[in-house]
Amino acid sequence: IGAYDGVHRGHQHVIAEVRRVAAAQGLRSVVVTFDRHPASVVRPESAPKQLTDPDQELELLAATGVDATLVIHFDEARSKEPAEEFVREVLVGALNARTIVVGEDFHFGHQRKGNNALLAAMGGELGFTVDGIDLLQRGPEGAVSSTAIRAALSAGDLESAHAMLGRPHEVRGVVGHGDARARDLGFRTANVAIDEDVLLPKDGIYAGWYERPDGATHPTAISLGRRPTFYEHAASSLLEAHLLDFAGDLYGETARVRFVARLRDEQKFDAVDDLVAQMGRDVERARDVLGA
């Protein structure tokens, strides 16, 4: 039960236990999640950007092998629902739960008053057991968490983020038309529009992969930033993907962009020729990193 943003290794650890218990008891394994992060309703002014969009989250949950995922609409009324009511309505009423598996720090319900102790007490009355498991640790730094992954990505630390995710960070968006600057410089790029609620890594140059709707993947040099050589005060970061050895039309398609390695920080160049030379070096380094 939870937000499952990122479906990271900590989440996978809990789901693996859910599947194990379900198999042992001859039951179906079910994940209960929400159609938006609860923080976006409870404290929208400080809600975190998301590691995965809703479609990604469902795909990743399905890939864990869980039998079903129940997606609950989360709104203001749900945010004010007492924990006891959630247990009776959803866990028992809708799912007829026999065993509930949660992390040791699990909280739910209005003002997060629900916890493992409350679940255990209600289980005795309603006929279910509670399996509270230890959180998956990432070392002395603490438990694997969506918060820790966001911090790593925001710092440009892909290695730590990917170790916690169990895979490269991926974002999705539609390819649109830009100002054609990269093309004029000799490097055609796909400008991928990412939902503002989705977290992007720290601005910089990256090596990664671009996946097309048909599943074809292409090695890619990724520029993520505000293009300071040309713009003094850009409003937001732009994701530009230069597909190596590719010259086709990408406009209008939904792209999946996976970040594999950070190559360097974004940099302002005094001369455009210097930028072009560096872009060439970035492409070759991306090629080396990706084995392309």
Q: Considering only CA atoms, which of 181, 177, 282, 176 is closest in space to residue 230?
A: 181
Q: Considering only CA atoms, which of 218, 282, 213, 286 is closest in space to residue 251?
A: 213
Dist. CA 75–CA 94, nearest whole Å: 19
Question: Among 203-212, 231-240, 254-263, 273-282, which is the least confidently predicted range?
Answer: 231-240
Give residue limits of the domains in the chain.
9-133, 169-290
Please name the residue that has the structure tokens 């409003």.
235
- Prediction pTM value: 0.92
The residue-averaged pLDDT of 119-128 equals 96
Per-residue model confidence as pLDDT tens digits over 256-269: 999 999 999 988 88
Query: What would the two tokens of residue 49 be?
Result: 């950007």
68-72/30-34 β-pairing: parallel
Per-residue model confidence as pLDDT tens digits over 10-22: 999 999 999 999 9
Could you tell me the fold of the domain covering 169-290? Elongation Factor Tu (Ef-tu); domain 3 (2.40.30)
The three-point CA angle 156-160-162 to 5° equals 95
Dist. CA 68–CA 32, nearest whole Å: 9
Dist. CA 86–CA 82, nearest whole Å: 7
Answer yes or no: is pLDDT of 275 > 90.
no
Dist. CA 122–CA 125, nearest whole Å: 5
Confidence band, pLDDT 50/70/90 cuts, at residue 184: low
Which residues have a Cβ under 8 Å from the Cβ of 126 and sit 6 or more positions away?
87, 88, 92
Dist. CA 125–CA 48, nearest whole Å: 37
Per-residue model confidence as pLDDT tens digits over 68-117: 999 999 999 999 999 999 999 999 999 999 999 999 989 999 999 999 99
Query: What would the two tokens of residue 145 be?
Result: 């968490």
Per-residue model confidence as pLDDT tens digits over 151-169: 999 999 999 999 999 999 9
The answer to whether domain 9-133 has CATH 3.40.50.620 is yes
